Amino acid sequence: MSDTTLKGRRIQGGVRPSKTIEMTRICADSGCVTKLSKYNRREFCFAHAPVKFPRVRGRIPIDGAI
Ligand SMILES: [Zn+2]
């Protein structure tokens, strides 16, 4: 055995923690208790998201037309 033997070294410094929100959050909408994923950084759940995409595909419903 000699002193020139290469030895592996453990990674120093530890593992960098991921940027996730650890605390459990719920939807910001009053009365909604939907839990938000810690990976979801929004304030509202999917149902109460402020941005709404209307599902009108070229047809605008007119009262009395149906
Ligand atoms: Zn909600």
**Residues lining ligand 1 (ion), CB within 5 A?**
27, 29, 32, 34, 45, 48
pTM: 0.41
User: How many angstroms does the Cα of residue 49 sit away from the middle of ligand 1?
Assistant: 7
Q: Buried (b) or exposed (e) across 31-60, using 16+ Cβ within 10 A? A: eeeeebeeeeeeebbeebeeeeeeeeeeee
**Cα end-to-end span (Å), the chain:** 91
User: How many angstroms does the Cα of residue 19 sit away from the middle of ligand 1?
Assistant: 23
- Binned at pLDDT 50, 70 and 90, residue 31 comes out as very high
Enter the tokens of residue 33: 């208790």
What would the mean pLDDT of 12-28 be, rounded to a whole number?
A: 73
- Which whole-number Å values give the CA distances from 31 to 9, 24, 26, 44, 52, in the listed order? 54, 16, 10, 12, 19
pLDDT of residue 9: 80
User: How many angstroms does the Cα of residue 5 sit away from the middle of ligand 1?
Assistant: 61
